[in-house]
């Protein structure tokens, strides 16, 4: 059952974080603990595609405490955040704005109809295997923020929206543990999960995807603001990603001269992506070169990888002529994460220079033991569970975003490498 957050002292947890050797300054344990608290707060907020209002309310309070920031909301509710005064200074130097983007929703249920005081019809907005819905427990969050436990009792064969048109989402019936006259259409219901914890370096919580990325973006932004670092760095926080990148698509649809995110921006989409054997949790944030549907802008991907290599003091993997001891203690990864798609593909298709950085994620979309359930080798019924990420990976993502906000190379590392190799070794052609 949901309850009060139980976790090891965040300052104690943060004190074990490996500092990025090339970041240029140290981030204190107290600051790391604050970043962890934001992570725990945000990832336990009920949210769903189109019903992100609770996350937005938390974000508004965070922004109000920082008068050095200015926020703008576009016509569909995406939120744009900038540091006051930096755009004009950067434009005068010919610098391009850098955007960190994250989405505000997570797979969850939305009340479509109240059938009786203790019975509701729910739609599910997101991608989860049908196995996980059988007899699953839920928590309904009403307009007064009361938490009402319940249980799914069946799936409707014909799902329709309130206006009678076919629904693109699966619909389920749920019985609540008590009658509640405060429940109404539009209320959010989530899986019934324990409170968040930090155990052995892992953060187990309700909705890492993508609220952990939001927390990391805010943490990096806060450091850039407080230390007066970097140039024109901005945020784009989107809605309804889990049902098809709808907020990101909307941000790209207006005429180019009317978009709040200018076309010359460099866009770093942030995600939480399912971990595999070659993209382990604890291996560091992943500079993601592509997804299931596309590859991303190579120069921007390389620029971020270059910054990661600079602050780590070493590449992400050893070469065949090196030993594993040569790997840095501040870990990072560079991978093609082809298990799903992300907003970077939408931005690339719209003409932006864009790429993705993600956190490797366990229990993707709250699906515990997912590999075995997919393979049919699970020995017990499929059950939902808390998503989990590495605390090291989270803090390292904050470090990497700070580094990208301070300086992001614009040239091609391949060109620079080729020039160096030619100057150093072209003589062998005439030897």
Q: What tokens were used for 163? A: 């206006």
**Same domain, yes or no: 89 and 159:** no
Could you tell me if 347 and 374 lie in one domain?
A: yes
Q: pLDDT value at position 21?
A: 83
Domain final residue pick, 171, 191, 211: 191
Is the pLDDT at 278 greater than 80, yes or no? yes
Going by the DSSP 8-state scheme, the letter that residue 48 receives in this structure is: B
Both 17 and 48 in one domain: the answer is yes
pLDDT digits (tens, 9 = 90+) for 318-348: 777 778 877 778 889 999 999 889 999 999 9
What is the percent of the chain with per-residue pLDDT over 70, rounded to a whole number? Answer: 95
Least confident of 29-38, 279-288, 308-317: 308-317
* 421 in any annotated domain: no
Q: Is residue 357 part of a domain?
A: yes
Flag whether pLDDT at 13 surpasses 70: no
pLDDT digits (tens, 9 = 90+) for 43-67: 999 999 999 999 999 999 999 999 9
> What average pLDDT does the structure give for the chain?
92
Per-residue pLDDT for 389 more than 80?
Answer: yes
User: Are residues 287 and 393 part of one domain?
Assistant: yes
If one counts every other C-beta atom within 10 angstroms of the C-beta of residue 39, the result is 28
pLDDT tens digits, one per residue of 111-138: 999 999 899 999 999 999 999 999 999 9
Task: Give the separation between CA 216 and CA 140, rounded to whole angstroms.
Answer: 27
Residue 35 has pLDDT above 90, yes or no: yes
The answer as to whether 148 is a domain residue is yes
CATH number for the domain that contains residue 143: 2.40.10.170
Regarding whether 268 and 171 lie in a shared domain, the answer is no
Q: Are strands 333-336 and 286-290 parallel, antiparallel or unpaired?
A: parallel
Using 50, 70 and 90 to split pLDDT, how confident is the model at 14?
low
Given 162, 191, 220, which residue is the final one in a domain?
191
Whole-number Å distance between alpha carbons of 198 and 391:
8
Is 329 among the domain residues? yes
313 and 358 belong to one structural domain = yes
Say yes or no: 83 and 29 in one domain. yes
Shared domain for 250 and 173, answered yes or no, is no
CATH assignment at residue 244: 3.40.630.10
Number of domains in the chain: 2
Does some domain include residue 325?
yes
Q: Is residue 423 part of a domain?
A: no
Rounded (10°) CA dihedral 312, 315, 318, 323: -40
Of 191, 212, 238, which residue is a domain's last?
Answer: 191
In a shared domain, residues 71 and 122: no
**Domain that residue 235 falls in:** 10-106+195-416
Domain shared by 127 and 96, yes or no: no
Q: What is the pLDDT of residues 146-186, one digit of tens each?
A: 999 999 999 999 888 888 899 999 999 999 999 888 999 99
Tracing tokens 């050893």 back to the chain, one arrives at: 318
Rounded Cα distance between 159 and 173, Å, is: 11
Whether residues 70 and 115 fall in one domain: no
Q: Which two tokens stand for residue 339?
A: 């298990």
| 208 plus 70 within the same structural domain | yes
Give the whole-number percent of the chain exceeding pLDDT 90: 77
Question: Which burial class, exposed, middle or buried, applies to 65 when counting CB atoms under 10 A from its CB (0-12, 13-18, 19+)?
Answer: exposed
Where does the pLDDT of residue 416 fall: very low under 50, low under 70, confident under 90, or very high at 90 and above? confident
Residue 62 lies in a domain: yes
Task: For residues 20-32, give the mean pLDDT.
Answer: 90
- pLDDT tens for 73-121 read 999 999 999 999 887 776 767 789 999 999 999 999 999 999 998 999 9
92: Cβ–Cβ under 8 A, 6 or more apart, which residues?
Answer: none
Determine which of 216-220, 287-291, 303-307, 313-317 has the lowest per-residue pLDDT on average.
Answer: 313-317
Residue 5 pLDDT grade (very low, low, confident, very high; cuts 50, 70, 90): low
Using CA atoms, how far residue 389 sits from 20, 27, 81, 103, 204, in Å, is 19, 20, 26, 17, 7
Confidence of residue 19 (pLDDT cuts 50, 70, 90): confident
Is there a domain that residue 4 lies in? Answer: no
pLDDT at 1 over 50: no
pTM of this structure: 0.93
φ, ψ for residue 205, nearest 5 deg: -155, 175
């Amino acid at each position: 059952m949901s309850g009060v957050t139980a976790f090891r002292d965040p300052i104690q947890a943060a004190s074990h974080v490996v500092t990025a050797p090339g970041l240029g300054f140290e981030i204190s344990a107290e600051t790391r603990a604050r970043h962890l608290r934001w992570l725990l707060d945000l990832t336990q907020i009920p949210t769903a595609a189109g019903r992100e209002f609770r996350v937005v309310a938390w974000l508004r309070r965070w922004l109000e405490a920082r008068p050095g920031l200015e926020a703008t909301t576009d016509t569909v509710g995406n939120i744009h955040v900038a540091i006051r005064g930096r755009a004009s200074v950067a434009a005068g130097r010919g610098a391009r704005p850098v955007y960190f983007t994250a989405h505000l929703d997570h797979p969850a249920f939305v009340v479509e109809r109240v059938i009786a005081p203790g019975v509701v019809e729910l739609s599910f907005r997101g991608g989860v295997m049908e196995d996980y819905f059988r007899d699953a427990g839920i928590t309904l969050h009403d307009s007064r923020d009361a938490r009402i436990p319940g249980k799914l009792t069946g799936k409707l064969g014909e799902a329709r929206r309130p206006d009678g048109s076919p629904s693109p989402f699966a619909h389920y019936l749920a019985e609540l543990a008590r009658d509640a006259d405060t429940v109404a259409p539009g209320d959010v219901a989530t899986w019934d999960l324990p409170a968040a914890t930090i155990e052995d370096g892992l953060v187990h919580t309700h909705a890492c995807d993508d609220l952990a990325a939001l927390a990391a973006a805010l943490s990096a932004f806060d450091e850039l603001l407080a230390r007066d670092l970097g140039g024109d760095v901005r945020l784009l926080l989107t809605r309804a990603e889990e049902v098809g990148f709808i907020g990101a698509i909307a941000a790209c649809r207006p005429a180019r001269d009317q978009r709040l995110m200018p076309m010359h921006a460099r866009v770093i989409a942030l995600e939480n992506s399912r971990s595999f054997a070659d993209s382990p949790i604890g291996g560091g944030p992943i500079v993601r070169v592509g997804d299931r549907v596309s590859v991303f802008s190579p120069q921007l991907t390389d620029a971020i990888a270059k910054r990661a290599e600079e602050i780590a003091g070493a590449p992400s993997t050893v070469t065949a002529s090196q030993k594993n001891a040569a790997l840095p203690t501040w870990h990072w990864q560079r991978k093609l994460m082809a298990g799903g798609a992300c907003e970077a593909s939408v931005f690339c298709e719209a003409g932006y220079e864009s790429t993705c950085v993600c956190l490797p994620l366990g229990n993707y979309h709250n699906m515990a033991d997912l590999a075995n359930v997919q393979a049919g080798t699970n020995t017990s019924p499929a059950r939902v569970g808390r998503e989990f990420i590495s605390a090291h990976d989270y803090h390292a993502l904050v470090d990497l975003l700070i580094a990208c906000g301070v300086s992001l190379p614009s040239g091609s590392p391949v060109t620079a490498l080729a020039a160096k190799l030619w100057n150093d070794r072209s003589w062998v052609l005439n030897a």
